[in-house]
Protein backbone atom coordinates (compact mmCIF):
# COMPACT_ATOMS: atom_id res chain seq x y z
CA UNK A 1 0.00 0.00 0.00
CA UNK A 2 2.98 2.31 -0.42
CA UNK A 3 1.45 3.87 -3.56
CA UNK A 4 -2.15 3.86 -2.46
CA UNK A 5 -4.44 6.35 -4.23
CA UNK A 6 -7.77 7.96 -3.27
CA UNK A 7 -10.54 5.48 -3.97
CA UNK A 8 -8.33 2.39 -3.67
CA UNK A 9 -10.05 -0.52 -1.92
CA UNK A 10 -7.91 -2.71 0.34
CA UNK A 11 -8.49 -5.63 2.68
CA UNK A 12 -8.18 -5.58 6.48
CA UNK A 13 -7.65 -8.95 8.25
CA UNK A 14 -10.56 -9.69 10.55
CA UNK A 15 -12.29 -12.24 12.75
CA UNK A 16 -16.08 -12.23 12.90
CA UNK A 17 -18.42 -12.86 15.82
CA UNK A 18 -18.25 -16.62 15.19
CA UNK A 19 -14.41 -16.47 15.38
CA UNK A 20 -14.09 -17.18 11.65
CA UNK A 21 -11.06 -15.67 9.91
CA UNK A 22 -11.56 -13.43 6.89
CA UNK A 23 -11.42 -9.76 6.09
CA UNK A 24 -13.33 -6.53 5.66
CA UNK A 25 -12.66 -3.95 2.98
CA UNK A 26 -11.55 -0.36 3.48
CA UNK A 27 -11.23 2.60 1.16
CA UNK A 28 -8.42 5.16 1.09
CA UNK A 29 -9.74 8.73 1.07
CA UNK A 30 -6.77 11.09 1.41
CA UNK A 31 -3.74 12.25 3.35
CA UNK A 32 -5.06 14.75 5.88
CA UNK A 33 -3.28 18.13 5.47
CA UNK A 34 -0.16 18.79 7.58
CA UNK A 35 0.48 15.01 7.45
CA UNK A 36 -1.80 14.32 10.42
CA UNK A 37 -2.53 10.86 9.03
CA UNK A 38 -4.11 8.96 6.16
CA UNK A 39 -7.91 9.11 6.18
CA UNK A 40 -9.66 5.80 5.52
CA UNK A 41 -13.12 4.32 5.86
CA UNK A 42 -13.84 0.66 6.65
CA UNK A 43 -16.99 -1.09 5.46
CA UNK A 44 -19.11 -3.45 7.52
CA UNK A 45 -19.40 -6.55 5.34
CA UNK A 46 -17.25 -9.52 6.37
CA UNK A 47 -15.69 -11.64 3.59
CA UNK A 48 -14.13 -15.07 3.43
CA UNK A 49 -13.75 -15.09 -0.36
CA UNK A 50 -12.26 -12.48 -2.66
CA UNK A 51 -14.82 -10.35 -4.55
CA UNK A 52 -14.44 -10.89 -8.30
CA UNK A 53 -14.84 -7.22 -9.19
CA UNK A 54 -15.16 -3.79 -7.64
CA UNK A 55 -18.92 -3.96 -8.26
CA UNK A 56 -19.15 -6.85 -5.79
CA UNK A 57 -17.70 -4.78 -2.93
CA UNK A 58 -20.46 -3.77 -0.50
CA UNK A 59 -19.89 -0.11 0.38
CA UNK A 60 -23.39 0.49 1.72
CA UNK A 61 -22.47 0.60 5.42
CA UNK A 62 -19.38 1.54 7.42
CA UNK A 63 -18.18 -0.60 10.29
CA UNK A 64 -17.18 2.57 12.14
CA UNK A 65 -16.63 6.23 11.38
CA UNK A 66 -13.64 7.21 9.19
CA UNK A 67 -10.31 7.24 11.00
CA UNK A 68 -6.73 8.26 10.37
CA UNK A 69 -3.92 5.74 10.18
CA UNK A 70 -0.16 5.66 9.70
CA UNK A 71 0.09 3.27 6.71
CA UNK A 72 3.28 1.98 8.34
CA UNK A 73 3.25 -1.79 8.44
CA UNK A 74 5.84 -2.51 11.12
CA UNK A 75 4.22 -5.40 12.99
CA UNK A 76 2.18 -7.09 10.24
CA UNK A 77 2.38 -7.70 6.46
CA UNK A 78 1.16 -4.93 4.16
CA UNK A 79 -2.46 -5.14 3.13
CA UNK A 80 -3.11 -5.66 -0.56
CA UNK A 81 -5.00 -3.11 -2.66
CA UNK A 82 -7.80 -5.14 -4.25
CA UNK A 83 -9.32 -2.60 -6.63
CA UNK A 84 -8.62 0.93 -7.82
CA UNK A 85 -11.30 3.39 -8.84
CA UNK A 86 -10.03 6.16 -11.18
CA UNK A 87 -13.49 7.77 -11.09
CA UNK A 88 -13.54 8.03 -7.30
CA UNK A 89 -14.62 11.34 -5.83
CA UNK A 90 -14.60 12.11 -2.10
CA UNK A 91 -18.35 12.80 -2.28
CA UNK A 92 -18.75 9.01 -2.57
CA UNK A 93 -17.42 8.86 1.00
CA UNK A 94 -19.78 11.65 2.14
CA UNK A 95 -16.63 13.67 2.74
CA UNK A 96 -18.49 16.79 3.86
CA UNK A 97 -19.89 14.89 6.86
CA UNK A 98 -16.61 13.35 8.05
CA UNK A 99 -15.54 14.98 11.33
CA UNK A 100 -12.52 14.40 13.57
CA UNK A 101 -11.72 16.09 16.88
CA UNK A 102 -8.27 17.74 17.15
CA UNK A 103 -7.64 19.10 20.67
CA UNK A 104 -9.66 22.35 20.57
CA UNK A 105 -10.47 22.16 16.85
CA UNK A 106 -12.99 20.17 14.85
CA UNK A 107 -11.81 19.09 11.42
CA UNK A 108 -14.83 18.57 9.22
CA UNK A 109 -15.08 18.11 5.47
CA UNK A 110 -11.51 19.31 4.98
CA UNK A 111 -11.91 22.47 7.08
CA UNK A 112 -10.96 23.21 10.68
CA UNK A 113 -12.92 25.30 13.19
CA UNK A 114 -12.94 25.94 16.93
CA UNK A 115 -15.23 23.78 19.04
CA UNK A 116 -16.12 23.30 22.70
CA UNK A 117 -14.87 20.31 24.70
CA UNK A 118 -18.42 19.01 24.95
CA UNK A 119 -18.93 19.23 21.20
CA UNK A 120 -15.64 17.49 20.44
CA UNK A 121 -16.61 14.51 22.60
CA UNK A 122 -19.27 13.59 20.03
CA UNK A 123 -16.74 12.92 17.29
CA UNK A 124 -13.95 10.51 16.43
CA UNK A 125 -10.69 11.74 17.94
CA UNK A 126 -7.52 12.46 16.00
CA UNK A 127 -5.70 9.24 16.88
CA UNK A 128 -3.41 8.16 14.05
CA UNK A 129 -4.02 4.43 14.26
CA UNK A 130 -1.22 1.89 13.98
CA UNK A 131 -2.08 -0.67 11.35
CA UNK A 132 -2.34 -3.74 13.59
CA UNK A 133 -4.41 -1.73 16.07
CA UNK A 134 -6.97 -1.23 13.31
CA UNK A 135 -7.39 -5.02 13.21
CA UNK A 136 -8.16 -4.95 16.95
CA UNK A 137 -10.79 -2.27 16.35
CA UNK A 138 -12.33 -4.08 13.39
CA UNK A 139 -12.64 -7.27 15.44
CA UNK A 140 -14.20 -5.41 18.37
CA UNK A 141 -16.85 -3.87 16.10
CA UNK A 142 -17.53 -7.18 14.36
CA UNK A 143 -17.94 -8.79 17.79
CA UNK A 144 -20.70 -6.29 18.57
CA UNK A 145 -18.80 -4.50 21.35
CA UNK A 146 -19.17 -1.19 19.52
CA UNK A 147 -21.74 0.19 17.11
CA UNK A 148 -20.98 2.04 13.85
CA UNK A 149 -21.02 5.47 15.53
CA UNK A 150 -19.09 4.46 18.66
CA UNK A 151 -15.53 5.53 19.29
CA UNK A 152 -13.09 2.88 20.47
CA UNK A 153 -13.16 2.62 24.27
CA UNK A 154 -10.35 0.49 25.70
CA UNK A 155 -12.23 -0.14 28.94
CA UNK A 156 -15.21 -1.70 27.16
CA UNK A 157 -13.03 -4.28 25.42
CA UNK A 158 -12.56 -7.71 27.09
CA UNK A 159 -8.99 -8.40 28.16
CA UNK A 160 -8.42 -11.00 25.46
CA UNK A 161 -9.17 -8.44 22.74
CA UNK A 162 -7.14 -5.49 24.06
CA UNK A 163 -4.22 -4.02 22.14
CA UNK A 164 -1.84 -4.38 25.09
CA UNK A 165 -2.62 -8.06 25.75
CA UNK A 166 0.41 -10.11 24.54
CA UNK A 167 -1.66 -13.16 23.60
CA UNK A 168 -4.18 -11.00 21.72
CA UNK A 169 -1.37 -9.28 19.82
CA UNK A 170 0.08 -12.66 18.82
CA UNK A 171 -3.33 -13.72 17.53
CA UNK A 172 -3.70 -10.52 15.48
CA UNK A 173 -0.23 -10.92 13.98
CA UNK A 174 -0.95 -14.58 13.16
CA UNK A 175 -4.26 -13.57 11.57
CA UNK A 176 -2.56 -10.90 9.46
CA UNK A 177 0.14 -13.32 8.32
CA UNK A 178 -2.42 -16.01 7.47
CA UNK A 179 -4.50 -13.58 5.42
CA UNK A 180 -1.38 -12.33 3.65
CA UNK A 181 -0.57 -15.92 2.69
CA UNK A 182 -4.15 -16.50 1.55
CA UNK A 183 -4.12 -13.42 -0.68
CA UNK A 184 -0.80 -14.44 -2.19
CA UNK A 185 -2.27 -17.87 -2.92
CA UNK A 186 -5.34 -16.30 -4.56
CA UNK A 187 -3.00 -14.13 -6.64
CA UNK A 188 -0.99 -17.17 -7.75
CA UNK A 189 -4.16 -19.05 -8.70
CA UNK A 190 -5.39 -16.07 -10.72
CA UNK A 191 -2.07 -15.80 -12.56
CA UNK A 192 -2.19 -19.51 -13.39
CA UNK A 193 -5.64 -19.09 -14.93
CA UNK A 194 -4.54 -16.37 -17.33
CA UNK A 195 -3.76 -17.64 -20.83
CA UNK A 196 -0.08 -17.53 -21.65
CA UNK A 197 1.09 -15.46 -24.60
CA UNK A 198 2.83 -17.57 -27.27
CA UNK A 199 6.56 -17.14 -27.58
CA UNK A 200 7.90 -15.36 -30.64
CA UNK A 201 8.00 -17.75 -33.60
CA UNK A 202 5.27 -19.97 -32.16
CA UNK A 203 1.69 -20.03 -33.27
Q: At 41, give phi and psi (nearest 5°).
A: -125, 150
Q: Where are the domains of the chain?
A: 9-107+122-181
**pLDDT by 10s per residue, the chain, length 203:** 768 999 999 999 999 999 999 999 999 999 987 778 999 999 999 999 999 999 999 999 999 999 999 999 999 999 999 999 999 999 999 999 999 999 889 998 888 899 988 889 889 999 999 999 999 999 999 999 999 999 999 999 998 889 999 999 999 999 999 999 999 998 888 778 776 665 555 54
Q: What is the number of H-type helices and E-type strands within the chain?
A: 3, 10
Is 46:26 a contact under the CB 8 Å cutoff? no
Question: Which pLDDT value is given to residue 36?
Answer: 84
In whole angstroms, give the CA distance from residue 47 to residue 14. 9
In whole angstroms, give the CA distance from residue 134 to residue 115. 27
Region of residue 176 (left: phi > 0; alpha: psi -120 to 50; beta: else): alpha
Amino acid sequence: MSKVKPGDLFYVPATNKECKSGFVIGRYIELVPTNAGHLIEVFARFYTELPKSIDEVDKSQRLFRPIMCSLRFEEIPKWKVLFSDPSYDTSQSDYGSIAIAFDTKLWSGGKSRSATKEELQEFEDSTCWRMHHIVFRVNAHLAGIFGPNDCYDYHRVPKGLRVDDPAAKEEVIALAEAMDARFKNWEDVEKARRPRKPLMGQS
